[in-house]
Chains A and B, each alone.
Chain A
Amino acid sequence: MSHGGRWRHRLLLALVALYSVFPIYFITVQSLKTPAEDVFGSPLWVTDPSFENYAELFEGAEAPVRGFVVRPRVPYERWLLNSAAVLAGSVVLTLTCALAAAYALGRLQPPGWRWWRRALFASYVIPHTVLFIPLYQLLVALGLDDSRSALTIVYSTMALPFCVWLLSAYYQHLPREIEESAFVEGASRTAAFARILLPMSRNVLVAAGLFTVGTVGQDFMLASVFLLDPAKQTVAAGLGVMDVSLEELVAVAGVNVAAVPVMLLCAGLARGYVRGLTAAMVEGS
C-alpha cells in the first residue's frame, strides 16, 4: 500500500469511528449537564459535569406543588430489574428453542428440513408491531396480559428465526466425522452433542445470544403496549410514560443507565460475535 493510501485509510477509519460514537457521546454529554448548562452551555461539551440527573432517577426531585414539597419519582430500580429479567429470560428461552431446532434441522435433517428452515426464517419479516391487536387478545386469553413473561415469549419469537438459521447453518456445515468418532467410542447422541458439538458452537451461541440482546433492546412499542403497571414495566416502557418533555435530561440519563451495561456486555463479546457469524457463514468448514 502506498504512503498516501495508508493515510487515507487511517483518516477514513477515524471518520467512521467518530460517526459511530458521536451520538452516544452527545447523549452522554447532555445527561451530565445541570439545568443552567443545558440552557446556556454548548451542546457539544460539558464544562461542569454533574450526576444530578442520574441521582434524580433513583431518588426523585423535590418539586413544589400547591404549597407542599413533593418528591415525585419513578420506580427506576424496578424498571432496571424488570428489564434485566426480561432480557435474561428472552436469551435463555431463545437459545434453548433455537439450539434444539437447529440441531434437528442442521444435523438430523428430517425430510423437508430445508422448507421447515425457510418457513421459520421467513417469519422474521412479519413486523410484530402490526400484529399486536391479535397478540394482545391472545395474551389476555392466556391470562398473560400485563406480565413480563408474555413480553419474554414475544421477544424470543422475534429473535428465534435468525438464531435457528444461524445455528442450523453452522451444524449443517460441520463435517459428520466430528460426531461419528464419538459414536464409535460408544457415546450417545446426547453425550456427543453436549461434549463435542455444544462446546464447538460457543461462538455461534454468543452470536445468537447477542442478536437476541439486540432484538430485545430495540423494542419500545411492544413493551409500552403490553406492560401498563409501573411496577412491572421495563426501562423502555417506563421512560415512555415519564413526563419526558419536562424532564428530558433525567430521561436521557435514564437511557444511559440502562444502555451502558448492555453496550459494555456487547463490546466484551464483540469478537466472539463476529467469529460466530463467520463460523456459520463458512461453507463446508
Chain B
Amino acid sequence: MGISYLLMAPAVVLVVGVLAYPVAWEVWISFTSLSARAEGRGFVGLANYRRMVGEPFFWRALATTAVYFSVTTLAKLALGLAMALLLARPSRARWLVFLAVFLPWAYPGGVTVVAWYWMLNPPLITSYSLAAGHLKQAVDGAFGSGAWAFGSVALFNVWRGGSFTAVFLLAGLNAIPRELFEYAALETRSALQRLRHVTLPLLRPYLALAVFLSFASAFADLANVWMLTGGRIVFPVVGTYAYWLGIHDGELAQAAAWSLSLVPLLLLALVVLFRWFDPPREQPA
C-alpha cells in the first residue's frame, strides 16, 4: 500500500502547495489586521468579516457574482445540451459540425479574450465603432454603467464554455448504451418526454460534472477581462474587488476576507454536485 501513497505524492504535493497552502494563508490573514499601509499585524478575530458584511456594496457584489455564475452556467448547460443532442443524431455533416463546435473551446481563451474585448468594445477608428457604441450606451443605460462590458464577458464565457459542455455531454451521450435510448423510444410518446424522463436522468452525472468544470472557467474569463482592462470594468464582483483591495489598496486582510466569502457558496455547490456524479455508496472494488 505504501507504493500507492508514493504515486499519489506528486499530485498531492502540487495541490497542497499551490492550493491548500494559499487558502490556509488567506484564512489566517483574514483574522488579522495585515495591511501594506500599517506596520505590524494583530489578531482581530472576525472584525474583517464584520466590516465586510456591513458594507452594502458587498451584498451587491455577492449578488452580481451569484447571478453571473448561475446565468452563465445555465446558458452553457442549455446550449451545450442542445448542441450535444443535435450532434448525437446521425447525419453526414456531423463530423464537420462537431469540429466547428469544438473550436470555440480550442481557440485559447487567455489570448482570444484580447481580441474578443476589442471586437465588442472597438476603439473609435473602426467601421462599426458607431454601431457598437450605440449598443453599449443602450445596454449601459438600461442596466447601469459597465453592463455592456460585463455582458460581453458573460457572452464570451458562454460561447467558450458552451462549446466545452457540448463536447463533454456528447461524450456522455456516447457512454450511455444505445439500447436504453431505443427502448425509451418505444416507451415514450414525445421527444420532450424522452428528454425529461430518459436522457436527462441518464446524463445527470455528466451534467453535474460539466457544471463543476464550468465554474473555474467562468471565474477565469471574468478575471481575464478585468485584468486586461486594468480594472476598468467597474461592475462590482467579489473576486475582482478582492484583487482591487489587495493589490491597489494594500488592504491584504480585507482582501482575504472578500476572497473567502465565496467559499460557503462553492462548498454548497460542491456537496450538491458530488451527490450527483459520485454518490457516496461504496461500490465493491
Identify the A interface with B (CB < 8 A).
9-10, 12-14, 16-17, 20-21, 23-24, 26-27, 30-31, 35, 37-43, 96-98, 100-101, 103-105, 108-111, 113-114, 116, 118, 120, 122-131, 133-135, 137-138, 153-154, 156-158, 160-162, 164, 210, 213-214, 216-221, 223-225, 235-236, 239-240, 244-245, 248, 251-252, 254-256, 258-259, 262-263, 265-267, 270, 273-275, 277-278, 281-283
Cβ–Cβ < 8 Å partners of B5 in chain A: 104, 110
Residues of A within 8 A of B96 (CB): 17
What's the minimum C-beta distance from B230 to chain A, rounded to whole angstroms? 9
Which residues of chain A have C-beta atoms less than 8 A from B11's C-beta? 97-98, 100-101, 120, 160, 164
Q: Which of B22, B114, B164, B227 is A134 in contact with, Cβ under 8 Å?
A: B22
Specify which of A16, A98, A133, A138 is in contact with B100 (CB 8 Å cutoff): A16
Cβ distance A138 to chain B, nearest Cβ, rounded Å: 7
Q: How far is the CA of A219 from the CA of B21 in the complex (A)?
A: 21
B62 to chain A, nearest CB (A): 14
- In the assembled complex, the CB of A180 is this many whole angstroms from the nearest CB of chain B, namely 15
A54 to chain B, nearest CB (A): 14
Residue of B10, B115, B247 with highest tally of chain A CB at under 10 A: B115
Q: Which of A30, A104, A162, A220 has the most CB of B within 10 A?
A: A220
Which residues of A have CB within 8 Å of B266?
125-126
How long is the Cα–Cα vector from A230 to B122 in the complex, in angstroms? 26
Q: Which residues of B contact A127 (CB under 8 A)?
A: 215-216, 219-220, 223, 239, 262
Question: Are the C-beta atoms of A259 and B108 separated by less than 8 Å?
Answer: yes
Query: In the complex, A249→B83 CA distance in Å?
Result: 32
Is residue B159 within 8 Å, beta carbon to beta carbon, of the partner chain?
yes
Q: How far apart are the CA atoms of A138 and B23 in the complex, in Å?
A: 12
Cβ–Cβ contact A134 & B25, under 8 A:
yes
Shortest CB distance B173–A (Å) = 9
Q: Which of B148-171 contact A (CB under 8 A)?
A: 159-160, 163-164, 167-168, 170-171
B227 touching A157, Cβ below 8 Å: no
B117 to chain A, nearest CB (A): 9
Tell me which residues across on chain B come within 8 A of A135, comparing CB atoms.
18, 22
Can you offer 28 A-B residue contacts whose CB atoms are under 8 A? A13-B86, A16-B97, A17-B97, A21-B103, A40-B127, A96-B10, A105-B8, A120-B11, A123-B15, A125-B215, A125-B270, A129-B243, A130-B259, A135-B18, A157-B19, A158-B216, A160-B14, A218-B108, A220-B111, A220-B227, A220-B228, A244-B118, A252-B118, A258-B108, A259-B107, A263-B106, A267-B103, A278-B171
Chain A contact residues: helix, strand, loop or mixed: helix
A116-B8, A156-B14 known; A223 vs B110 contact (CB < 8 Å): yes
Give Cα distance in the complex from A131 to B108, angstroms: 22
Tell me which residues across on chain A come within 8 A of B224, comparing CB atoms: 218-221
Contact with A along B59-103 (1 / 0, CB 8 A): 000000000000000000000000100110101011011111111
Our pick among A27, A104, A225 for the contact of B115 (Cβ within 8 Å) is A27
Report if B186 contacts A (CB, 8 A): no
Q: Give chain B residues whose Cβ lies under 8 Å from the Cβ of A216.
A: 108, 110
Asked if B21 and A125 sit within 8 Å, CB to CB, the answer is: no
Among the listed A13, A100, A225, A263, which residue makes an inter-chain contact with B7, where contact means beta carbons less than 8 Å apart?
A100
> Contact at B219–A111, with CB atoms within 8 Å?
no
A214 touches B106 (CB 8 A): yes
Interface residues of B in 105-141 (CB under 8 A from A): 105-116, 118-119, 122-123, 125-128
Contact B206 A281 (CB under 8 A): yes
Partner of A104, one of B7, B127, B252: B7
| Binary flags per residue of B239-277, CB closer than 8 Å to A gives 1, else 0 | 100110011000010011001001000100110001000
CB pair B110 A100 closer than 8 Å: no
Across-interface contacts of B14 in A (CB, < 8 A) = 97, 153, 156-157, 160
Q: How far is the CA of A248 from the CA of B119 in the complex (A)?
A: 9
- Closest chain-A Cβ to B258's Cβ sits at a distance in Å of 8
Contact partner, B111, options A42, A134, A258, A266, Cβ 8 Å: A258
Smallest Cβ-Cβ distance to A210: which chain B residue: B106
Write out the residue numbers on chain B whose beta carbons fall within 8 Å of the beta carbon of A281. Answer: 171-172, 175, 206
Collect the chain B residues with CB atoms within 8 Å of residue A124's CB.
Answer: 212-213, 216
Q: Please give the distance in Å from B170's CB to the nearest CB on chain A.
A: 6
Known A-B contacts A217-B108, A259-B107; A270 and B99 likewise in contact (beta carbons under 8 Å): yes
What A residues does B122 contact at CB under 8 A?
Answer: 248
Give 15 A-B pairs besides A27-B116, A101-B12, A131-B259 with Cβ atoms closer than 8 angstroms: A10-B93, A13-B97, A17-B101, A20-B159, A27-B119, A37-B127, A39-B126, A110-B8, A114-B278, A126-B266, A129-B239, A218-B109, A259-B112, A266-B102, A274-B171
